[in-house]
Structure 1
Amino acid sequence: MVRRIDLTGADGLRLAAWEFTDPPKGRSADADQAPGVLLLHGLMGRASHWAPTARWLSERHRAVALDQRGHGRSDKPAEGPFTREAYVADAAAAVEQLGLAPAVLIGHSMGALTAWQLAAERPDLVKALVISDMRASALGAASQREWESWFRSWPLPFATLADVRKWFGEDDPRVERPNPARGAFFAEVMAEGPDGWRPLFSRRQMLTSRETWVFDAHWDSLAQVRCPTLVVRGLDGELGRAEAQEMVRVLPQGRYAEVPDAGHLVHYDQPEGWRAALAPFLEDVSPC
């Protein structure tokens, strides 16, 4: 079962969260007694992208995925704010309102940055952390310009979801080889309107969100994370092996895992490899 929960963000925004409530195996049917996990998607993502992960997590954990501000079914205020502080405050509010603390935070890309910044600022709320394919180094102005150009290249509106899957999985200039998982990922963040299919999010707001972290390095906040932390990278993802291993070195309780044949969308590209990478870590930090 999946149920929607409406939460209140730090500045009064309505946030949508999705709880996967299958009774944990070997435990009572009261899932609220299971170890809490909050799942944070990346830029342009949504909570439903975590559904396969949340289903197996719910066997032993209370798994909740959050639509972050500007994404999915959460509010998308025209003027934001879409700052790092706002995203972190929202995640803290979600953990507190859901009664998950101390929670395991699992974040992908921008969601991973939100997770580790929350762990650094509020260690009382976080017992363990999973960082999936997010860099600690600055990406710079060239990266932001590339994203602006990429957004302009989208052939909106798409006539059908099949067109969405084909463009993002095959025709997108960023795709080096066909990737059906990538096409499916983007099909899930589209909504049908009178003229066709368009993203659930504002591309302008996504650029605004991104510019609040892309120009800065985040090593200092990473070093402040005291809880056990697993850094996961896809072998073909955006986080290189050398940087990932340096992140593990900087973390006081860092661990490292790789997922073969996976790109940036690690949990989407290789769900079984992703599970194999996380399961031993989660067993250590949240034994059942």
Structure 2
Amino acid sequence: MRRLPSPTVGPYAPPVPESELTVVSADGSRLHTELHGPEDAPAVLLAHGWVCSTAFWAPVVRALSADHRVIVYDQRGHGRSPAPGPGGYSTHALADDLVAVLEATLPPGRRAVLAGHSMGGMTLMAAADRLALRERAAAVVLCSTGASRLVDRSRVVPLRSPRARARVHRVLLGSRAPLGPVTPLAKRLVRYVTMGPGADPAAVDMCARILHACPRAVRGGWGRVLLDLELEASIGELTLPTAVIVGTADRLTPPEHADALAAALPHCTGLIELPGLGHMTPVEDPEAVTGVIRGLVEEFGTSHPTTAVEAKEQTT
């Protein structure tokens, strides 16, 4: 298993889990999974994004684990989860992995609030039609994510021509070029691409270390999946109470993605825009993201999941 070069002290240092386990997905893929906080507390599951790991959620886990059971896992090929075989990169596989983690970590009858960042949010959308999600999730947070047209809407490369901009973004997203060491220049690039201008330098350093630790084959494998992502049909299947979070300065999944999600979700509890923040909202403002999660736990976390149809019936 790979050990990620993460901070050992401070708010961005990954907390020590109460326990660890290896979850086996439907195709045999092994997923490193961590459990934090009291076993009998309200449960929260956090799914990280492309080229990240469980370490990405460190500030949120620290804030929640005092009074929540927090479940985090490394998406296949990330962190300490081994890379899949050639056929193991797909949104279907992401959904399979999520279901496997839910079934392995939540006892029968227990539900959790699920929060997904970037590709983690896409994971939740991909699993929207799964019975396990409906039975084990109480509510959902879609954070800095989108359902389709990632290349077309990205603002990383500031070219005037939409076609030229999309072409360059397509090359970058599918690239397997080595990232090299974490240098001052590398951190400036990470800040520009993924974070707002006011990001804490320690947060930039942590994100750069996590991103550079992802194997380039895995980065390229998942990048190719994201190139042609099409999950718009899944949004209507996500009938659980769902909050949407976006940073107004997000270059990777700009606010128009969040607007489209909020408009299409059957039961959107709110669209939260975080001024001046980039793509890494759980790291840039963990208090805001944690507050949204806590609000959903308080409202829905200990009750039967309320679907969009049920919510409509309750208001009529």
User: Counting strand residues as a fraction of each chain, which structure ranks higher?
Assistant: 1
Select 1:170's aligned residue among 188, 212, 237. Answer: 188
Q: Distance in 1 between matches of 2:229 and 2:29?
A: 26
Q: TM-score, normalised by structure 2?
A: 0.74
Within 5 Å, give how 1:197-276 maps onto structure 2.
199=213, 201-237=214-250, 238-254=252-268, 255-276=270-291
Q: Distance in 1 between matches of 2:257 and 2:284?
A: 21
Give the superposed CA RMSD: 2.5
- Taking only the aligned residue pairs, the percentage that are identical comes to 27
Contact kept? 2:173, 2:227, Cα under 8 Å: no
> SS at the partner of 2:35?
strand
How far is the alpha carbon of 1:279 from its aligned partner?
A: 3.1
Contact kept? 1:168, 1:183, Cα under 8 Å: no
How far is the alpha carbon of 1:124 from its aligned partner?
A: 2.0
2:8 is matched with: none
Q: TM-score, normalised by structure 1?
A: 0.81
Q: Deviations over 1:209-245 (max 9, x none)?
A: 2322431332210111110001100111133334322
Higher relative contact order (CA 8 A, sep 6+): 2
> Judging changes above 3 Å, is the alpha-carbon distance between structure 1 residues 19 and 135 closer, same or farther for their aligned structure 2 residues?
same
How far is the alpha carbon of 1:148 from its aligned partner?
A: 4.2
Structure 1 spans left out of the alignment, 5+ residues: 24-30, 159-163, 191-198
Select 2:207's aligned residue among 179, 182, 185. Answer: 185
Contact kept? 2:246, 2:273, Cα under 8 Å: yes
- Counterpart code for 1:279: R
Q: Distance in 1 between matches of 2:30 and 2:234?
A: 27
> Judging changes above 3 Å, is the alpha-carbon distance between structure 1 residues 63 and 165 closer, same or farther for their aligned structure 2 residues?
farther
Select 2:145's aligned residue among 131, 134, 137. Answer: 134
Q: Deviations over 1:24-61 (max 9, x none)?
A: xxxxxxx2x32322111000100121122122222332
Q: Distance in 2 between matches of 1:113 and 1:221?
A: 10
1:84 is matched with: 91
Within 5 Å, give how 1:153-164 maps onto structure 2.
154=179, 156=180, 158=181, 164=182
Contact kept? 1:39, 1:64, Cα under 8 Å: yes
> SS at the partner of 1:43?
coil
Select 2:177's aligned residue among 152, 157, 168. Answer: 152
> SS at the partner of 1:127?
strand
Structure 2 spans left out of the alignment, 5+ residues: 1-15, 152-165, 304-316
Within 5 Å, give how 1:35-184 maps onto structure 2.
35-99=42-106, 101-122=110-131, 123-140=134-151, 142=167, 143-148=169-174, 152=177, 154=179, 156=180, 158=181, 164=182, 166-171=184-189, 174-175=192-193, 179=199, 180=201, 181-184=203-206
Contact kept? 1:232, 1:259, Cα under 8 Å: yes
> Judging changes above 3 Å, is the alpha-carbon distance between structure 1 residues 280 and 178 closer, same or farther for their aligned structure 2 residues?
closer
Q: Does 1:285 align with 2:300?
A: yes
Q: Distance in 2 between matches of 1:65 and 1:116?
A: 17
> SS at the partner of 1:224?
coil
> Judging changes above 3 Å, is the alpha-carbon distance between structure 1 residues 216 and 82 closer, same or farther for their aligned structure 2 residues?
closer
Q: Distance in 1 between matches of 2:113 and 2:61?
A: 13
- Counterpart code for 1:126: A
Q: Distance in 2 between matches of 1:216 and 1:108?
A: 15
